[in-house]
Amino acid sequence: MAKKIVVIPGDGIGEEITASAVRVLQRIDEKFRIGMVFEKHDAGGTAYDLYGTPLPQETIDAARVSDGVLFGAVGGDKWDAVAPALRPERAILGLRKNLGLYANLRPVKVADALTEYSPLKPELVRGVDLVIVRELIGGIYFGEKCESEMQDGHERAWDLENYSVPEVERISKLAFETARLRRGRVTSVDKANVLATSRLWRRTVTKVAAGYNDVELNHLYVDNCAMQLAVRPTQFDVIVTGNLFGDILSDEAAVIGGSIGMMPSASIGANTSLYEPIHGSAPDIAGKGIANPIGTILSAAMLLRYSLHEDEAAKAVEDACDKALTDGYRTADLWKDGFTKANTTEMTEIIIKRI
């Protein structure tokens, strides 16, 4: 049976980088006979220009019945004057809601060839290979809120943080299942010394862990975790945490790799999942053929692993990217004297030849 992959390029460099990832997936299909078919749809500012909405219903409907969604990036100063409800960024929020994407997986793996690009010392980042599993549709971002009210003669605002046991169980199980595919260690991050929601979080994660005797669990407060990511990031395998803490920690961890152009991500849903690089649409370099496609190509590898359950194929993509970097090829964001500069298309073909 064919595997339907919906491709949503979005705006800016999205067209170029998703085209690169599709080329890589087509090569993988030739080698592993997975049976992927690709269907392109619009979202973001591009969709707004065509249809007057950043997320057409046709795109939502196609994504819902797909085996996986490959997403580029949305946004750009061209749409700065558009009403907030119609901004390009609403497309990704709408997809998360309509597809029930409850978890974000953010891997951070530093290739040996790129340790010098990290702001941390090479000896600290060599061997870093971790995944942050962030709860995506709960917590303080989705709780009740008040922009402004008067109390005792003073203006105040508030946001409500809350989590239910089923929400924590669902994200915890995903973290433990992810750890089983890796090195079997989960670090749960909370602020249980202060927050009631974190105490429920910790109790629930601990109960879920009882069903995963082959996975080691430990707990860290979020402030300590932030420090440990900077001083000894190699200690981590899988980090699981709530929406707010995950948002902050995943951005901190992304810096460890030295270039956001290298970083993939996955947003996991019950029926389908969405895969995208963590960087933006970079309209200043769109159409110039100099964007780094590796973050999107590695996102495609995650699609192979988590949606199509083709782990060998995913590893073939990841190994090919590592080999291209080890062989000295660099896109403009990473290029230095002594390396071979490659544009978007050239880097894509270099990776394809190594599969």
Instruction: For the chain, give the percent of residues with pLDDT over 70.
Output: 100
- The whole-number pLDDT of residue 261 equals 76
pLDDT digit string, tens, across residues 163-183: 999 999 999 999 999 999 899
Confidence of residue 112 (pLDDT cuts 50, 70, 90): confident
Q: CB of 6 within 8 A of CB of 95?
A: no
- The whole-number pLDDT of residue 212 equals 98
- For the cut 90, the answer to whether the pLDDT of residue 273 exceeds it is yes
From edge to edge, which strands make up the β-sheet containing 129-135? 36-40, 3-10, 68-73, 274-277, 264-269, 101-109, 129-135, 238-241, 185-190, 216-221
CATH class of the domain at 1-100+270-355: alpha beta
- For the cut 80, the answer to whether the pLDDT of residue 260 exceeds it is no
Same fold, 1-100+270-355 and 107-259: yes
- The whole-number pLDDT of residue 113 equals 86
Task: Compute the average pLDDT of residues 325-341.
Answer: 94
Instruction: Give the CA count within 13 Å in the CB-facing half-sphere of 294.
Output: 29
Q: Cα–Cα–Cα angle for 298, 299, 301, nearest 5°?
A: 60
CATH superfamily, domain at 107-259: Isopropylmalate Dehydrogenase (3.40.718.10)
What is d(CA 267, CA 250) in angstroms, rounded to the nearest whole number? 13
Report which residue type is found at 298. Answer: L
Q: What's the whole-number average pLDDT of the chain? A: 95
- The whole-number pLDDT of residue 133 equals 98
- For the cut 90, the answer to whether the pLDDT of residue 262 exceeds it is no
- For the cut 90, the answer to whether the pLDDT of residue 117 exceeds it is no
- For the cut 80, the answer to whether the pLDDT of residue 16 exceeds it is yes
Residue bearing tokens 């000894």: 232
- Burial status of residue 84 (CB atoms within 10 A of its CB: 0-12, 13-18, 19 or more): exposed
| Domain extents in the chain | 1-100+270-355, 107-259
- For the cut 80, the answer to whether the pLDDT of residue 247 exceeds it is yes
The enclosing H or E element of 132 equals strand 129-135
Report which residue type is found at 192. Answer: A
Q: Which residues are catalytic?
A: 141, 191, 223, 247, 251
**pTM of the full structure:** 0.89
- The whole-number pLDDT of residue 258 equals 77
- For the cut 80, the answer to whether the pLDDT of residue 111 exceeds it is yes
